[in-house]
């Protein structure tokens, strides 16, 4: 006859080659009876796998309720069907090996998770400047300041920050030279970017300064110029020009030492750094 539970049972009781099959439980026996297994087939399986528990009154009642014939129950009471000490020892060894395997798998999974977390943290650290600037930039488009996406900065390795203002005479003198320097430097070194941080007293005067000098680089929005994460790269007095790596590590002395250095000297230093970065294997802090 066709037994609808045959495949199910084969999946339940199948074990790898050379492994010791676990003893049959009362539930296993009940499933075999209900699945239409013949008494001889059930006894053959019991001889191979043994019984997990002796057939006491409670087990006998359960088997009868599942439809087991009295002849089968009587044969199952044979004490030889209970696991021998050797069989029990083999099962214990097998269980211990399985637990050890599970522990090893668990340790491997945890190790891989830790690696993934470390990589994610390292990636986040490398992109510190981009995260600080995300959603805070605009750029000149025609005569208007429009949002600038940090996705445009994904290949940048060196970020220069220029802190200046339109009201400061020294900044008004420095800005044209910095704009000119930027245009030439950006063409030669695409992995470089400059960010302007205004010190003006209003968004209107900041926009006028940007338009006046046709600033070709991204500008921090006026409502974000006092952001602590951005201000950490600035200093006094202005005009202040300094550079950091993608991870925010100082690459010019004025940021690292918190002391003023003339913008012209900083521009020469950045040019030298960018030349050095073209050499094979050259890396910045945090890369």
Count CB neighbours of 218 within 10 A: 21
pTM of structure: 0.61
Is pLDDT of 2 > 80?
Answer: no
Indicate if the pLDDT at residue 221 is higher than 70.
yes
109: left (phi over 0), alpha (psi -120 to 50) or beta: alpha
Query: Which residue is associated with the tokens 């602590």?
Result: 228
171 pLDDT more than 90: yes
* Both structure tokens of 211: 């338009």
Mean pLDDT of 37-59: 89
Distances from the Cα of 194 to the Cαs of 80, 109, 198, 243, in angstroms? 86, 43, 13, 8
What's the mean pLDDT when you consider all of the chain?
86
186 pLDDT band (50/70/90 cuts)?
very high
Domains along the sequence of the chain with CATH: 6-83 (no CATH), 129-277 (3.40.30.10)
Q: Is the pLDDT of residue 287 over 80?
A: no
**Mean of pLDDT values over 240-252:** 95
3-state secondary structure of 173: helix
The answer on pLDDT for 284 being more than 90 is no
pLDDT higher than threshold 90 for residue 166:
yes
Q: How confident is the model at residue 14 (pLDDT cuts 50, 70, 90)?
A: very low
Stretch 25-54: mean pLDDT: 89
The highest-confidence range among 59-68, 88-97, 118-127, 202-211, by mean pLDDT, is 202-211
Residue 6 pLDDT exceeds 50: no
DSSP 193-256: EEEEEE--SSHHHHHHHHHHTT--S-EE-GGGTT-HHHHTT--SSSSEEEEEETTS-B-SHHHH
More confident residue, 274 or 126: 274
pLDDT value at position 122? 54
Q: Summarize the confidence of residues 202-217 as an average pLDDT.
A: 97
Tell me the average pLDDT across 242-249.
Answer: 94
Percentage of the chain modeled with pLDDT above 90: 57
**Each residue's pLDDT tens digit, 134-161:** 999 999 999 999 999 999 999 999 999 9
Residue 121 in this model has a pLDDT that exceeds 60: no
Residue-level pLDDT at 98: 74
């Amino acid at each position: 006859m066709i037994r609808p539970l045959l495949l199910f049972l084969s999946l339940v009781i199948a074990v790898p080659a050379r492994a010791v099959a676990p003893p049959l439980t009362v539930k296993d026996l009940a499933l075999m009876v209900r699945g239409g297994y013949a008494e001889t087939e059930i006894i053959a399986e019991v001889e191979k796998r043994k019984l997990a528990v002796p057939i006491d009154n409670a087990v006998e009642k359960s088997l009868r309720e599942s439809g087991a014939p009295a002849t089968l129950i009587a044969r199952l009471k044979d004490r030889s069907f209970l696991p021998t000490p050797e069989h029990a020892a083999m099962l214990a060894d097998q269980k211990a090996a399985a637990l050890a395997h599970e522990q090893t798998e668990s340790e491997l999974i945890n190790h891989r998770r830790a690696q993934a977390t470390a990589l994610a943290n390292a990636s986040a650290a490398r992109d510190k400047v981009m995260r600080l600037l995300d959603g805070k930039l605009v750029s000149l488009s025609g005569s208007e300041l429009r949002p600038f996406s940090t996705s445009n900065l994904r290949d940048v390795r060196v970020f220069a920050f220029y802190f200046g203002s339109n009201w400061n005479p020294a900044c008004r003198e420095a800005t044209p030279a910095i704009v000119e320097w930027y245009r030439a430097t950006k063409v030669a070194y695409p992995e470089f970017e400059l960010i302007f941080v205004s010190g003006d007293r209003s968004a209107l005067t900041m926009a006028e300064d940007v338009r006046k000098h046709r600033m070709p680089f991204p500008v921090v929005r006026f409502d974000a110029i006092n952001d602590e994460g951005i201000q950490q790269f600035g200093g006094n007095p202005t005009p202040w020009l300094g550079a950091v790596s993608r991870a925010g590590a100082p690459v010019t002395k004025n940021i690292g030492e918190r002391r003023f250095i003339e913008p012209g000297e900083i521009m020469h230093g950045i040019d030298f750094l960018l030349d050095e970065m073209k050499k094979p294997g050259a890396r910045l802090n945090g890369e």
